[in-house]
Amino acid sequence: MTRLRSLGKILGYYVKYSPLYLCLFYLEVIIGAWLSVFNSIYLIRYIFNAFDNQISLRDAIIYLFCALITNTLFFLFSNWMKNCYSPASELRVRKIIQTKLFEKAANVRLKYFENTDFYDGYMLALQHSKDIGSLTLQSTGALLSNLISIVLIVTMLFTVDFFIVVLILFSVLIGFWVDISLAKNHEKKDVDTIKLNRKIDYYKRVFYITDIIEELKLLQRNEFIF
């Protein structure tokens, strides 16, 4: 429930501050999922039927030309989203998320920062505040894409070879499971390394904070640090 609430809150930032980008993003996901199934099943089946002389050469050329145009337009649209429109929209939402995080941190009492669990959680949130929005979109987009692919494949059960459908459906489910497993592993890795990174940052600060450097030079006992 907490994860769903966090997910809804992050998506709410996109709805409020970048609604057009959110719509275009999911539109790209829907079209991309449809084209993926179309290119891997419908188009291949059409080509085989054309080789079997079940379709006239003129109709086959027109069909393939339309498919080429559609895929090219989608490729251009995806590149425009990735290189032109997405960066500015993501930056806008990132600014809002980080601002909210800093405002909450400013209102938290100082004693909580001395609590190891709280501080580790805060550092983890700070570390991911830069890309939590885009990662959330990518995760929900992957889920939507897999669902659309499954629905499209299931609807073709009576139009193509059953074995091919089962094979593709199996590969989609495996990909979905792998995506979830990777996300969990990345989260566990981040939690496990946050404490080590905090120690590394502390050791780095020892060598550039003036007061500490002065004490080290006065004591001339640096063995314990190394």
pLDDT digits (tens, 9 = 90+) for 102-136: 887 777 777 777 777 777 777 777 776 777 778 88
Q: Please state, in angstroms and rounded to a whole number, the distance separating the CA atoms of residues 18 and 93.
A: 7
Mean pLDDT of 30-56: 80
Give the confidence band of 28 by pLDDT, cuts at 50, 70, 90: very high
Q: In this structure, how many other beta carbons lie within 10 angstroms of the beta carbon of residue 124?
A: 16
- Sequence-distant (6+) residues with CB within 8 A of 70 are 35
Predicted confidence (pLDDT) at residue 200 exceeds the cutoff of 60? yes
pLDDT at 142: 84
Of residues 205 and 29, more confidence is placed in 29
Q: Is the predicted pLDDT of residue 221 greater than 70, yes or no?
A: no
Distance CA 6, CA 15 (A): 14
Let me know: does 47 contact 158? Beta carbons within 8 Å: no
Model confidence at 31: pLDDT above 80: yes
Residue 148 per-residue DSSP state? H
- Exposed/middle/buried for residue 25 (C-beta within 10 Å: 0-12, 13-18, 19+): buried
End-to-end alpha carbon distance in the chain: 45
Total count of residues recorded for the chain: 226
Average model confidence (pLDDT) across the chain: 79
Q: What angle do CA 48, 52, 53 make, to 5 degrees?
A: 120
For 138-191, how does the pLDDT look when each residue is reduced to its tens digit (9 = 90+)? Answer: 888 888 888 888 788 777 766 666 676 677 667 767 877 887 787 777 767 776
